[in-house]
Chains A and B, each alone.
Chain A
Amino acid sequence: MLEPPLTSLLRRHFPTAKFDENDSTLAAGSFPEWDSLSHFSFLLSVEETYGVRFGLGEISELKSLAAIRQALDGKAGRDA
């Protein structure tokens, strides 16, 4: 499957925010625009883009890009 990497989805979500796409520690709160409200919208976009659905528990746990990526990998593995 050819989906955009998470970092470019983050860029699309925060088009004007200043952040380093190679920063491996990117997480909610890394820059001012990424507050808890916009984080939820970002998770909805992740769901839409990758065709997955996060449970209520995941929603509260997935705060960093690394965690989201890991969750996506887990779901892909389960589907395969």
Chain B
Amino acid sequence: MPAGVQLRITATSFLLPGDAAWDELARTHTLDFGTFGDWPGALLSSSGTALLWVVVLEDLVTPEAVEGSPEFAELLHPLLTVLKKRLENAPEAHTAVAWLAWRPDSPIRSVRTQRFWKRLGEALATSLRQMAALHPSLLLLDLDELFARPGMDACLDPRNWYAVRCRFSRRGIAETARATAALLSRAAAAPRKLMVLDCDNTLWGGIVGEVGLAGLALGQDGVGRAFSDFQRSILRLTHEGLLLSLCSKNNEVDVWKVFDEHPSMVLRRSDIIAWRINWRNKADNVMELAHDLDLGLDAVVFVDDNPLEREQMRRYLPQVLTPEMPVEVFAWPWLIDALNDAATFQVTTEDRRKTEQYRSRSGFLAQRGSARDEIEFLRTIELQPDAVSISAGTVSRAAQLCAKTNQFNLRTIRHTEGALLELASRPGTCAFLMQLSDRFGDHGLTGLAIAVSSESQKSAFLDTFLLSCRVLGRHAEAWMLQTLVTSLRAKGVEWLIAEFRETGRNSVARDFLAGHGFVRLCDIPEKPRQLLCREAKGFWAAGEAFAARLDSIVVPYMELFHYARTAAD
């Protein structure tokens, strides 16, 4: 059903009124094509309604006139005069001018002299842009540029010209209709003002918490160069008034270290107006960022390489624009350059100063959001963890996880392959790798848990408990713990003793123990405590000690794993 907004369409050539090619524009506008050929009449009479004027220069200049090397100003004068009248008569209504200057010609033959049509097109474009600077209601659509991507052969059809006086193919009309719809809707709406950016694998390649500053792909050649160019595209938008903020599941120090110290960073700390660098869900963070900056969610663009985060954002904050990111980083700058929603038609000094204004706004509120929606979301993504034993075939991955995992890692012991095989083979040890898949794909072996039995077999010590940051935010650690608990209880073990060793990078693991049924050793009644201390002697170093009674521990979040196959035995 066509919307109420009237759009008058007029052109120098026939445009197939009523054809399916116009559908995209007809969804939002009632199209009125008037009489074919009467563009001066349409421009001068329909002052109350928005208007699209399609100009094919070839329609306006006879072949004879071209032969006589005419003055451009003279050729364009009648056109521009009528347009000027229209802009004066209808300053409130939008006037979109779409023009085509391109003609099939040989670049070889015109190697020395620039082609007539190209020069004429440039002269028209210059005049139109001058007019647009004076008349905000004038919207320009360069069809030569619009058709460049699909190609002129696909968009123009000389047969249609000879058959019905239409220069375009259906594709050409559909492209024009789609671009006009985008142009009119953009002109009517305010642009997106705030871009919320993820960091790892979005602004740079790699995870800074894992590979460190030197291991990031940024700058230089290849993929690192693509990340720099992506940053450059973003920076360009800030010159038009776009504000930048960060939302990253990361340690804050690590992120700022990249901003402050990486020589190839294009974006600087001073370009970032607000940030939420924490392990909470991103929808809550984005809501807070928008609130702090006094912006509506419909002013926000969310850019993240992680499909899970994008899906979550679209689901919980549909007002936020979350563009789909192509798999290849080199396509991202194009995505940003083509982000119509962030386009500002008039860049003012005000826009350029906006970052400063926002930064000086006092007191960002640190309001805590809730994560209740997150659980609801995770229920739907079909989390499917599986326990895989440590064997000759998997031990190298286990050692790699020990070596590389810095964030969710309780003790950060860098076991070698030999040490891992030895630990796993001890009687009473419960050890497994977690393989995790969900609707977003198979994440592979991304978790490792090793509990070593004490001499008395009454307690076990959590030697290693780690989770790759690739799968953080899914509560897979809860499933790993439950799997350990089930298996240890079957062996008659009564207590699980754990240690958290602070490394400066593993703060995400700090809250895990207390939040999953463990209590600090010092809060345990004296009698079992003494026993536990004896049992665990020789295990722990200088960390904080915790313990959990296996017959009473209740591990949270287990409702998320109804797709899990079996617990390890």
Contact = CB atoms under 8 A, between A and B. Distances in A.
Interface string A22-54: 000000000000000110110011001000000
B163 A41 contact: no
Contact of A48 (B159, B162, B170): B170
Contacts of B17: 37
Contacts of B132: none
Interface of chain B, main secondary structure = helix
A40 B19 CA distance: 9
Contacts of B120: none
A60 B163 contact: yes
A59 B163 contact: yes
A2 interface: no
Contact of B164 (A40, A45, A48, A55): A40
A37 B17 CA distance: 8
A41 B20 contact: yes
Contacts of A41: 16, 18-20
A80 interface: no
Contacts of B20: 41, 45
Nearest to A44: B170
Interface in B118-168: 159, 162-164
B16 A59 contact: no
Contacts of B19: 41, 44
Interface string A46-80: 00100000011001100000000000000000000
Nearest to B36: A37
Nearest to B14: A37
Contacts of B16: 37, 40-41, 44
Contacts of A56: 159, 162-163
24 contacts: A37-B16, A37-B17, A37-B18, A37-B164, A38-B18, A40-B16, A40-B163, A40-B164, A41-B16, A41-B18, A41-B19, A41-B20, A44-B16, A44-B19, A44-B170, A45-B20, A48-B170, A55-B159, A56-B159, A56-B162, A56-B163, A59-B159, A59-B163, A60-B163
Interface of A: 37-38, 40-41, 44-45, 48, 55-56, 59-60
